[in-house]
Copies of this chain bind each other. A is one copy, B any other.
């Protein structure tokens, strides 16, 4: 029995309901909560931003991730904790894990937070990757280019997302600006992969080790930000991606949803990145799959049976970036599902997404094209 405070400042008691603590209060936390309420779960998020959009639908502790009092309060308010972005400080996750079960583990997070240890793990598991080299000094960078060649991308080992913390090198003239931009942090130089398309696989593994996989999506980006994801059905690629993800999750004793981003190069999957969380390329699962990635993440960390992951026909997702389209026009497209995260508009900001589910490929592609025209982002 525990007394919590309502939105209106009133009180009531929670009885027999499982309480989830989430580090991070962005749209991923918001969608986790919206998926968990029907399961009878309750949610508290920890996020320093007073306007963190998950806080509109959950209890919200407005404190920094390294605030030990806030972490203790989150732990006291939860039976199980998780996180909704990969740049949460590992130390904070460890401090939480001293107090209650936290999934995924701090160890798994630590490996995947660092692009170097992540790629080395991919390689150790037999997954092809782009050629890589560690860069700590300017001399390292020059040497790395010697082994990796042009074009290449210099990346911070930590704290990158949505294309941030990256600098593309086309030739020797880019060395100085790249070093000026990123030098000082631990870095990684990645060779260029001449890929056909980017794919991702969303997978879930429960405390008991049960594992499920969603169908692959093909993703398009602009300015480093995901724009669209579309479910594809390719038995060979699917099997290959599942083998990789399964090996990775087993090795990490991973619990929760994980997204594996890969390049498709002539039918060979090149592992690019693994996100230890629910993932933007899995948002289509809310309406498109039998069980959403958000529900399966919660089932996984609670060691409940995982739900079916098959797609209900043609499924695609379009991100709403920077500005929301005319809502009436969008909802006027039949079969479209609109999601707004309740965030204030800002350039490059993910404000929502649209899911398209259709019975046939041609109907789905038509609807996808109509949404993209309307969204124009």
Contacts and interface: CB of A to CB of B under 8 A. Distances in A.
A146 interface: no
Contacts of A37: 30, 34, 56-57, 342
Contact of A304 (B50, B290, B327): B327
A284 to B, nearest CB: 13
Interface in A238-252: none
A12 B339 CA distance: 21
Given A34-B34, A57-B57, A342-B42, A7 B10 contact: no
Contacts of A16: 344
Interface string A50-67: 110001111111100000
A61 B9 CA distance: 9
A11 B8 CA distance: 11
A374 interface: no
B344 A332 contact: no
Interface string A332-368: 1011011111101000000010000100000000000
B56 A340 contact: no
Interface residues of A, number: 55
Interface string A1-27: 000111111111101110000000000
A58 B339 CA distance: 18
Nearest to A56: B42
A181 interface: no
A238 B344 CA distance: 44
A233 interface: no
A39 B331 CA distance: 10
Interface string A68-87: 00000000000000000000
Interface centre among A37, A62, A324, A327 (most CB of B within 10 A): A37
A308 interface: yes
Interface centre among A4, A5, A307, A332 (most CB of B within 10 A): A307
Contacts of A44: 8
B13 A51 contact: yes
Contacts of A338: 38-39
A69 to B, nearest CB: 14
Nearest to A4: B7
A187 to B, nearest CB: 37
Contact of A340 (B38, B327, B339): B38
Contacts of A38: 34, 286, 337-340
B61 A8 contact: yes
Interface string A285-300: 0100010000000010
A6 B38 CA distance: 21
24 contacts: A6-B7, A6-B59, A7-B59, A7-B60, A8-B44, A8-B60, A8-B62, A10-B55, A12-B51, A16-B344, A34-B34, A34-B38, A37-B56, A38-B286, A38-B338, A38-B339, A39-B338, A39-B339, A40-B341, A42-B56, A290-B335, A290-B357, A305-B328, A305-B331
Given A7-B60, A9-B9, A40-B324, 5 more contacts: A8-B44, A8-B61, A12-B51, A15-B344, A307-B334
